[in-house]
Every structure is written in structure tokens, then in C-alpha cells.
């Protein structure tokens, strides 16, 4: 996909895992509300909605971000600051409440069997993601998935705050920087990206095949953005709907262009 982003590369305050130089295909996916699936659409949003300032204010901030009136970095920091719980309490609540996307386990098992790397690219915090993922798919499988995200800073008084990977970026974590290094490889691997929200906007345009996961109401802030600016995508409700498309691309049965023409698989089995 053609890039319309600035060529400025934000400084990363956190290390990156090595890229998968020999892979012909790479899957990169958001975590909250994409790999995970439950009513509040994202585990950190779950905390904000149920323990912080609530869904209405969160949605207002999301809309301000979509309209360019606020940065995701500042809006997300405000959301997290409204949560009056310790980091340990947040971790236990999320381990209790978070559910895995119903198709992800099969999707991941197939990718693993095909030696296709799966990389989580998240605006969340690595300790939370690792704890929840280990709880959902087991520590062994979770340990084999690279996580590129933000971190957490816990103060002596017990208060905590997000430590952004790219604090100078309006995204806090510019997810495009996890994808772009693959574009410099020769040959370039085919990149599948899965996302659902405003934090995925910077990465969306750089995927070969973009899957957008809709929430239970059939909505997605990322879908609104991509449809508005003309970024082709495939809308899904779960990874089970994406698996046959990815399989067909990998097997050579369909091209990337043909995959994107599918557009919407809502209502199909999966």
C-alpha cells in the first residue's frame, strides 16, 4: 500500500525484537479487542469503562482522536490515569475477565505449523499482555510470540503510568515502525496485519493484507478511518473468518489483490 505518512522516524525508548528476515509471510496483530474478544472491546478499555471514567468519556476521546483534535498518546494516557487500581489489581482483573478470540487458537496453531511468525504489535503494556496471553494460550505458546508494545512505570507509592515506546509520537507507540523494517528486506515478505482501533491507524496503510476486526455491534474505529481515506481492508468478526483467506494467499490460490477484493466476510462461518 502506498504510504502517506511522514518519513520521520520516532526514537524508540524500548528495544525491538529481531525481525524475521527469512520469513516469506509474517502476521502482525494488535492485541486488545483483536486477539482478545469481549464486550468492552479491549482489555485496557475494559478497565477504563468499568473502573475509570467510563465508556462515554472514552468514546469522546476516541472521536477526538479520529477527528485529529487529540493525539492517541494523550487521550490514552488520560484514560489510564482515570483507573484507581494498582497495577497488580489490573492484571488480576484482566486475567479473570479477558476472553480469547474464538478463532485465534486455531489460527495461531496453523501459523506455527507453517513456520509463519506471529507478532503482537500493541498500544498496551507488555507485562499485561504477556500475563493475559499466558493465561489464555499457555506460557509455552505465549513465550514464542514476540510482543512489540509499550511498558509500565510503577512508582514507589504504588501508582503507575504507561511508559510509551515512542513518547515523541502522537501515537505513543507508532505501530508502523514495527512493519516498515520488513519493507527493506529483499525479498519482501507478505505482511498480514490485524487491528481494530485508532491505535492501528499508523500501521494500517503498510500491510499487504489488512484485516479489521469489528466489535459485537459491527463497528470499528479503524474501519471508519480506512474506509474514509481509501485503505482497502477485509472486515472480520473473528480469526476463524481470516484463516481460509490467509491460507489461500500463502498457498498461492489467490493473490493479495484478490484477497483484498473480498472486502467483508461478516456472516460467513468461522
Provide the CATH number for the domain around residue 193: 3.40.50.1000
Domain that holds residue 241: 25-260
The pLDDT value recorded for residue 37 is 67
Specify whether 196 is catalytic. Answer: no
The pLDDT value recorded for residue 40 is 34
Residue-wise pLDDT tens digits, 63-110: 898 888 999 899 999 999 999 999 999 999 989 888 899 999 999 999
The pLDDT value recorded for residue 2 is 38
- Looking at the 3D structure of the chain, how many domains does it have? 1
Residue 190 has pLDDT above 70, yes or no: yes
- Is residue 102 within 8 A of residue 37, CB to CB? The reply is yes
Q: Which of 32, 49, 174, 200 is catalytic?
A: 32
Q: Is residue 3 part of a domain?
A: no
H helices of the chain, where? 43-51, 55-66, 72-81, 87-97, 104-113, 126-137, 139-143, 176-183, 201-204, 221-229, 239-251, 256-260
Residue-wise pLDDT tens digits, 17-26: 999 999 999 9
Q: Is residue 114 part of a domain?
A: yes
Residue 6 has pLDDT above 50, yes or no: no
- φ and ψ at residue 199, rounded to 5 degrees: -70, -15
The pLDDT value recorded for residue 4 is 39
Specify whether 32 is catalytic. Answer: yes
Q: Which of 30, 174, 200, 221 is catalytic?
A: 30
Residue-wise pLDDT tens digits, 212-266: 999 888 888 899 999 999 999 999 999 999 999 999 999 999 999 999 998 877 5
The pLDDT value recorded for residue 199 is 82
Q: Is residue 15 part of a domain?
A: no
Residue-wise pLDDT tens digits, 148-172: 999 999 999 999 999 999 999 998 9
Q: Is residue 146 part of a domain?
A: yes
Residue-wise pLDDT tens digits, 133-143: 999 999 999 99
Q: Is residue 116 part of a domain?
A: yes
The pLDDT value recorded for residue 270 is 53
**E strand or H helix at 150:** strand 146-154
The pLDDT value recorded for residue 60 is 92
Q: Which three cell numbers stand for residue 173?
A: 507507540
Q: Is residue 11 part of a domain?
A: no
Coil/strand/helix, residue 73:
helix
Q: Is residue 63 part of a domain?
A: yes
Residue 7 has pLDDT above 70, yes or no: no
User: What pTM, to 2 d.p., does this model score?
Assistant: 0.87
Q: Is residue 1 part of a domain?
A: no
Residue-wise pLDDT tens digits, 33-76: 899 865 333 567 778 888 999 889 998 998 898 888 999 899 99
Amino acid at each position: 500500500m502506498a504510504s502517506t505518512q511522514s518519513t520521520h522516524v520516532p526514537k524508540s525508548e524500548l528495544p525491538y525484537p529481531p525481525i524475521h528476515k527469512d520469513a516469506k509471510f509474517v502476521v502482525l496483530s494488535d492485541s486488545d479487542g483483536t486477539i482478545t474478544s469481549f464486550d468492552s472491546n479491549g482489555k485496557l478499555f475494559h478497565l477504563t469503562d468499568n473502573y475509570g471514567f467510563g465508556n462515554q468519556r472514552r468514546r469522546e476521546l476516541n472521536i477526538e482522536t479520529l477527528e485529529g483534535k487529540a493525539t492517541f498518546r494523550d487521550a490514552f494516557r488520560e484514560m489510564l490515569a482515570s483507573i484507581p487500581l494498582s497495577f497488580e489489581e489490573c492484571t488480576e482483573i484482566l486475567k479473570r475477565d479477558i476472553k480469547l478470540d474464538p478463532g485465534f487458537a486455531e489460527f495461531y496453531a496453523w501459523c506455527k505449523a507453517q513456520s509463519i511468525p506471529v507478532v503482537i504489535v500493541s498500544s498496551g503494556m507488555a507485562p499485561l499482555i504477556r500475563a493475559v496471553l499466558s493465561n489464555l494460550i499457555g506460557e509455552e505458546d505465549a513465550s514464542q510470540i514476540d510482543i512489540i508494545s509499550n511498558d509500565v512505570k510503577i512508582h514507589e507509592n504504588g501508582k503507575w503510568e504507561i511508559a510509551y515506546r515512542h513518547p515523541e509520537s502522537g501515537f505513543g507507540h507508532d505501530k508502523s515502525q514495527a512493519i516498515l523494517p520488513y519493507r527493506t528486506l529483499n525479498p519482501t515478505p507478505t505482511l498480514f496485519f490485524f487491528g481494530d482501533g485508532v491505535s492501528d491507524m499508523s500501521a494500517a496503510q503498510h500491510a499487504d493484507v489488512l484485516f479489521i476486526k469489528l466489535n459485537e455491534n459491527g463497528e470499528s474505529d479503524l474501519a471508519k478511518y480506512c474506509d474514509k481515506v481509501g485503505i482497502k481492508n477485509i472486515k472480520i468478526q473473528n480469526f476463524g473468518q481470516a484463516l481460509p483467506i490467509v491460507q489461500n494467499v500463502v498457498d498461492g490460490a489467490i493473490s493479495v489483490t484478490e484477497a483484498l477484493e473480498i472486502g467483508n466476510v461478516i456472516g460467513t462461518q468461522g
